[in-house]
Amino acid sequence: AYAAACAMWRTRYRLPPGPWAWPIIGNLPQLKGKEGFYHYVLEFRKTYGDIFRLKMGVHEVVFVFGHQHVQEVLCKNGALTSNRPNWMYIPNKIFKGKGIVWNNRDACKALRSVLKLAQEDSYVVASLQRYLATEFDVFQSHVKDKSSAYDLEYLIGQTSFNFLSAFLLGKRYSYDDPTMIEIRNKLAEFGASTASANPENYLPFLANFTQAKFQTAAANQEIVFNRFREIIQEKRNTPEDPPTDFLRIYLSNYEKEGLKNGTCEADLLQAVMDMFLAGKDNLLLSTKWILMALVNYPEVQSKCRSEIHQVIGQGQRVQSQDRSRTPYTVATIKEIQRLYSPVTFTVFHYPEQDIQVGGYDVPKDTLMMIECKAPCRDKQFWKDPEVFNPDRFLGIDGEGQLPEGCFIPYGEGPRYCIGKYVADMFMYFLVTNIIQNFKITTKHPEQPLSFENAFSFFGLQPLHFPEIKLEALE
């Protein structure tokens, strides 16, 4: 009966091409190996083109590459494809459709709009500037102890966690604070056991054997939620006017409305957790790629430094409102994102009704993975796309000035990255302040770096992240 149903499905639609798939496991074995999932998907693209279909366990998944097709899915059909498959095993059992990432209810739209307003709010932004200034002082004091090259991952991780914490919770923690260590560890464990790539999402019967993993995930989620509940209670006890972080903005202006549109406590707690989960690795990985590119292109690094010294000077912190005065530095960060963004695919989308993409049918409820990197290297929009050339972004600060959909490190359409504004703010602030105060090199500056990447649960990371040397400038 199953085979007959599949055959009927196949003849009714003009489906995208794809390889033969094993019963039950489908093409999963062909996607697993030391090169990483993304690499194997790119191999299928070579054979089947920009739109193809793989069977990942029990799910048919359509992969979509290329500017025009990505636009068709995320923009033209954006209203029909903005939902998440929260019926997959882990989203259903652990996230329960709450928060942002796996939420398809009005509560998601409401939370997204409060998060956007919070990122644009001048009091929140001013408060974030103060947190960032403190954070950079701490960063600098740690760096000053080191005279040689070393692994900066730990420091960038702490700095980005504290930045997210300042935005969401209105708090920064010292690096050895037990609450910070607990939240970070629990988030990391939770993130690893509930990431979309976990096999139970594709072969749900496996969950019968891995229940302990999900019990631990649920326990970790509850520990983190309890920490957030304590912080929310503190905020209720000490109201602040005007509010200067996301939680305060939500509590003081939107909680009552939230209750009307169905946003419950679990949505709020899960939304904060989602922001930490989606944000912390992307900030860390993006900063690593930026530092590597600045090491590899010392002349670009010097040019950014000259601009910063000329416009802002050496003694004063660079602030996010300095962006418009430092166009070359902004262009450099964008060019690095264009070539080395850590995000390969959007989160899963699915169409609520049958749609067409690139002349193929994508039936209702089919999982879709939409690739974000190919449009950023499309020859139609980018001259010599493989060449690192920050100048191409000069005069284009607002992405609105670029042809739609050719620069999509943050995705596009109704579910684009809701952390985009704070992500841009963080990278600009950290990177410019490092460039202003330090010469960025490695132990062997004469050796060009390898930009090979490795795909993990959390995105593309440098395969060989070097030890970085930050030489303090006079």
SS (H, E, C) 388-417: CCHHHHCCCCCHHHCCCCCCCCCCCHHHCC
Helix/strand/coil for 90? helix
Query: With contact defined as beta carbons under 8 Å apart, do 392 and 381 qualify?
Result: no
- The encoded tokens of residue 36 equal 């990483």
Query: Smaller CB distance to ligand HEM: residue 415 or 469?
Result: 415
Site for ligand HEM in 181-220 (CB under 6 A): none
Query: Smaller CB distance to ligand HEM: residue 338 or 439?
Result: 338
Judged by CB under 6 A, the residue of 107, 156, 187, 275 near ligand HEM is 275
Chain Cα centroid distance, residue 117? 19
CB atoms within 10 A of CB 160: 24
Question: Minimal distance in Å, beta carbon 339 to ligand HEM?
Answer: 13
Contact status: 31 vs ligand HEM (CB under 6 A)? no
Q: What is the CA radius of gyration of the chain?
A: 23
Which residues neighbour 160 within 8 Å (Cβ) at sequence distance 6 or greater?
279, 280, 283, 284, 287, 426
Contact status: 418 vs ligand HEM (CB under 6 A)? yes
Omega of the bond prior to 242 within 30 degrees of 0, cis? yes
Per-residue contact flags (x/-) with ligand HEM for residues 371 to 410, judged by CB under 6 A: -x------------------------------------xx
Give dist(CA 155, CA 455) in Å, integer. 22
Question: Minimal distance in Å, beta carbon 162 to ligand HEM?
Answer: 13
Beta strand pairing status for 453-456 and 438-442?
unpaired
Question: Minimal distance in Å, beta carbon 81 to ligand HEM?
Answer: 9
Contact status: 100 vs ligand HEM (CB under 6 A)? yes
Contact status: 416 vs ligand HEM (CB under 6 A)? yes
The window from 122-130, 220-228, 282-290, 430-438 that contacts ligand HEM (CB under 6 A) reads 282-290
Query: Smaller CB distance to ligand HEM: residue 149 or 195?
Result: 195
Per-residue contact flags (x/-) with ligand HEM for residues 159 to 178, judged by CB under 6 A: -----x--------------
Tell me how far apart the terminal alpha carbons of the chain are, to the nearest angstrom.
Answer: 76
The window from 191-199, 291-299, 313-321, 340-348 that contacts ligand HEM (CB under 6 A) reads 340-348
- The encoded tokens of residue 184 equal 């970070």
The window from 33-41, 279-287, 308-316, 392-400 that contacts ligand HEM (CB under 6 A) reads 279-287
Give dist(CA 33, CA 35) in Å, integer. 6
Question: Minimal distance in Å, beta carbon 178 to ligand HEM?
Answer: 24
Contact status: 343 vs ligand HEM (CB under 6 A)? yes
# residues near ligand HEM by CB under 6 A: 26
The window from 65-73, 275-283, 289-297, 396-404 that contacts ligand HEM (CB under 6 A) reads 275-283
Site for ligand HEM in 103-162 (CB under 6 A): 112
Query: Smaller CB distance to ligand HEM: residue 101 or 312?
Result: 101
Give dist(CA 158, CA 280) in Å, integer. 9
Contact status: 419 vs ligand HEM (CB under 6 A)? yes
Query: With contact defined as beta carbons under 8 Å apart, do 151 and 467 qualify?
Result: yes
Does 108 show up as a binding residue in the annotation? no
Supply the DSSP symbol for 444.
S
Contact status: 86 vs ligand HEM (CB under 6 A)? no
Judged by CB under 6 A, the residue of 51, 284, 331, 417 near ligand HEM is 417
Which of these, 339, 112, 105, 93, lies nearest to 221 by C-alpha position?
93
Judged by CB under 6 A, the residue of 197, 347, 396, 454 near ligand HEM is 347
* CA atoms 199, 202, 203, 205: torsion sign: positive
Which helix (H) or strand (E) is 425 found in, with range? helix 420-437
The Cβ-side half-sphere exposure at 42, using a 13 Å CA radius, reads 11
Give dist(CA 327, CA 390) in Å, integer. 10
Query: Smaller CB distance to ligand HEM: residue 21 or 250?
Result: 250
Q: Which residues make up each annotated binding site for heme?
A: 417
Interface contacts to ligand HEM, rule CB under 6 A = 100-101, 112, 164, 274-275, 278-279, 282-283, 286, 341, 343, 346-347, 372, 409-411, 415-419, 422-423
